[in-house]
Amino acid sequence: MNKKIGLWLLMLVALIAVGTAIAHMSCIFLGPQCYAAQMAPPEIVQSAENGTLLAPLSTAFISLLFIIVGLYSLSSARVIRRLPLLSLAVYVISTLCIVRGLATIPSSFIYPELVSIFSTIAGAIWFLTGVMFILGHNFIRQANR
Protein backbone atom coordinates (compact mmCIF):
# COMPACT_ATOMS: atom_id res chain seq x y z
CA MET A 1 0.00 0.00 0.00
CA ASN A 2 2.77 2.46 0.93
CA LYS A 3 4.57 1.65 -2.33
CA LYS A 4 1.47 2.65 -4.28
CA ILE A 5 1.12 5.89 -2.29
CA GLY A 6 4.83 6.59 -2.82
CA LEU A 7 4.47 6.06 -6.55
CA TRP A 8 1.51 8.47 -6.73
CA LEU A 9 3.33 11.10 -4.67
CA LEU A 10 6.44 10.89 -6.84
CA MET A 11 4.43 11.02 -10.05
CA LEU A 12 2.66 14.13 -8.75
CA VAL A 13 6.04 15.73 -7.91
CA ALA A 14 7.25 14.96 -11.46
CA LEU A 15 4.07 16.47 -12.92
CA ILE A 16 4.43 19.65 -10.83
CA ALA A 17 8.12 20.01 -11.77
CA VAL A 18 7.59 19.45 -15.50
CA GLY A 19 4.49 21.67 -15.48
CA THR A 20 6.53 24.41 -13.82
CA ALA A 21 9.26 24.04 -16.46
CA ILE A 22 6.67 24.36 -19.23
CA ALA A 23 5.10 27.41 -17.55
CA HIS A 24 8.51 29.06 -17.32
CA MET A 25 9.38 28.26 -20.94
CA SER A 26 6.08 29.77 -22.07
CA CYS A 27 7.46 33.17 -21.05
CA ILE A 28 9.98 33.02 -23.88
CA PHE A 29 7.11 32.85 -26.36
CA LEU A 30 4.54 34.98 -24.52
CA GLY A 31 6.86 37.87 -23.69
CA PRO A 32 7.50 40.35 -20.89
CA GLN A 33 3.96 40.24 -19.49
CA CYS A 34 4.34 36.52 -18.85
CA TYR A 35 7.62 37.07 -17.04
CA ALA A 36 6.00 39.78 -14.92
CA ALA A 37 2.96 37.60 -14.19
CA GLN A 38 5.25 34.82 -13.00
CA MET A 39 7.03 37.28 -10.72
CA ALA A 40 10.38 37.19 -12.51
CA PRO A 41 13.01 39.62 -11.22
CA PRO A 42 12.82 43.08 -12.82
CA GLU A 43 16.10 42.48 -14.67
CA ILE A 44 14.57 39.47 -16.43
CA VAL A 45 11.40 41.35 -17.37
CA GLN A 46 13.55 44.23 -18.68
CA SER A 47 15.63 41.76 -20.70
CA ALA A 48 12.48 40.34 -22.26
CA GLU A 49 11.31 43.86 -23.13
CA ASN A 50 14.70 44.73 -24.65
CA GLY A 51 15.05 41.43 -26.48
CA THR A 52 18.39 40.56 -24.86
CA LEU A 53 19.52 37.00 -24.11
CA LEU A 54 19.36 37.19 -20.31
CA ALA A 55 15.65 36.39 -20.13
CA PRO A 56 15.53 33.37 -22.46
CA LEU A 57 18.83 31.90 -21.26
CA SER A 58 17.96 32.21 -17.57
CA THR A 59 14.49 30.84 -18.27
CA ALA A 60 15.92 27.84 -20.10
CA PHE A 61 18.37 27.23 -17.23
CA ILE A 62 15.66 27.43 -14.55
CA SER A 63 13.39 25.19 -16.63
CA LEU A 64 16.22 22.66 -16.94
CA LEU A 65 16.49 22.58 -13.14
CA PHE A 66 12.77 21.78 -12.89
CA ILE A 67 13.15 19.03 -15.52
CA ILE A 68 15.98 17.55 -13.44
CA VAL A 69 13.68 17.56 -10.39
CA GLY A 70 11.09 15.69 -12.46
CA LEU A 71 13.68 13.17 -13.61
CA TYR A 72 14.85 12.51 -10.06
CA SER A 73 11.26 12.03 -8.99
CA LEU A 74 10.68 9.52 -11.80
CA SER A 75 13.95 7.80 -10.90
CA SER A 76 12.91 7.54 -7.27
CA ALA A 77 9.60 6.06 -8.41
CA ARG A 78 11.62 3.57 -10.50
CA VAL A 79 9.86 4.65 -13.66
CA ILE A 80 13.25 5.45 -15.22
CA ARG A 81 16.69 4.08 -14.37
CA ARG A 82 18.38 5.05 -11.14
CA LEU A 83 20.08 8.44 -11.42
CA PRO A 84 23.38 9.21 -9.68
CA LEU A 85 23.22 10.23 -6.02
CA LEU A 86 19.47 9.59 -6.00
CA SER A 87 18.86 9.67 -2.24
CA LEU A 88 21.10 12.68 -1.70
CA ALA A 89 19.41 14.55 -4.57
CA VAL A 90 15.94 13.74 -3.24
CA TYR A 91 16.80 15.00 0.25
CA VAL A 92 18.47 18.17 -1.06
CA ILE A 93 15.65 18.93 -3.51
CA SER A 94 12.99 18.19 -0.90
CA THR A 95 14.69 20.46 1.61
CA LEU A 96 14.97 23.27 -0.96
CA CYS A 97 11.28 22.91 -1.87
CA ILE A 98 10.21 22.97 1.78
CA VAL A 99 12.42 25.97 2.55
CA ARG A 100 11.12 27.77 -0.56
CA GLY A 101 7.56 27.12 0.58
CA LEU A 102 8.21 28.23 4.14
CA ALA A 103 10.07 31.33 2.92
CA THR A 104 6.73 32.66 1.72
CA ILE A 105 5.75 33.44 5.31
CA PRO A 106 8.60 35.77 6.35
CA SER A 107 8.83 37.18 2.83
CA SER A 108 5.24 38.36 3.04
CA PHE A 109 6.14 40.45 6.09
CA ILE A 110 9.38 41.78 4.60
CA TYR A 111 7.95 42.47 1.14
CA PRO A 112 4.17 42.87 1.62
CA GLU A 113 3.88 44.57 -1.78
CA LEU A 114 4.87 41.28 -3.44
CA VAL A 115 2.24 39.19 -1.68
CA SER A 116 -0.44 37.88 -3.99
CA ILE A 117 -2.68 34.88 -4.24
CA PHE A 118 -0.26 33.52 -6.84
CA SER A 119 2.79 33.87 -4.57
CA THR A 120 0.95 32.34 -1.62
CA ILE A 121 -0.32 29.38 -3.65
CA ALA A 122 3.12 28.87 -5.23
CA GLY A 123 4.71 28.79 -1.76
CA ALA A 124 2.16 26.25 -0.53
CA ILE A 125 2.60 24.09 -3.63
CA TRP A 126 6.39 24.00 -3.29
CA PHE A 127 6.17 23.23 0.42
CA LEU A 128 3.81 20.32 -0.31
CA THR A 129 5.97 19.22 -3.23
CA GLY A 130 8.98 18.92 -0.94
CA VAL A 131 6.99 16.93 1.60
CA MET A 132 5.53 14.65 -1.11
CA PHE A 133 8.98 14.10 -2.64
CA ILE A 134 10.59 12.94 0.59
CA LEU A 135 7.59 10.86 1.67
CA GLY A 136 7.22 9.24 -1.73
CA HIS A 137 10.92 8.42 -1.89
CA ASN A 138 10.89 6.89 1.60
CA PHE A 139 7.73 4.87 0.91
CA ILE A 140 9.31 3.39 -2.23
CA ARG A 141 12.62 2.67 -0.45
CA GLN A 142 10.88 0.93 2.45
CA ALA A 143 8.73 -1.15 0.12
CA ASN A 144 11.77 -2.36 -1.81
CA ARG A 145 13.76 -3.53 1.23
Q: pLDDT digit string (tens) for 107-132?
A: 888 888 878 888 899 999 999 999 99
Section 42-60 average pLDDT: 97
Residue 18: pLDDT over 90: yes
pLDDT for the residue numbered 25: 97
What percent of the chain shows pLDDT beyond 90?
A: 85
Vertex 32 angle, CA 113 and 112, to 5°: 5
Q: How large is the angle between the packed helices 54-76 and 117-143, nearest 10 degrees?
A: 30
Task: Give the CA radius of gyration of the chain.
Answer: 17
Angstrom distance (rounded) from CA 24 to CA 30:
10
pLDDT for the residue numbered 43: 95
Contacts of 127 by beta carbon, 8 Å cutoff, 6+ apart:
97, 98, 100, 101, 102, 104
Find out whether 73 and 17 touch, Cβ atoms under 8 Å: yes
Which of these, 62, 137, 6, lies nearest to 54 by C-alpha position?
62
Angstrom distance (rounded) from CA 131 to CA 127:
6
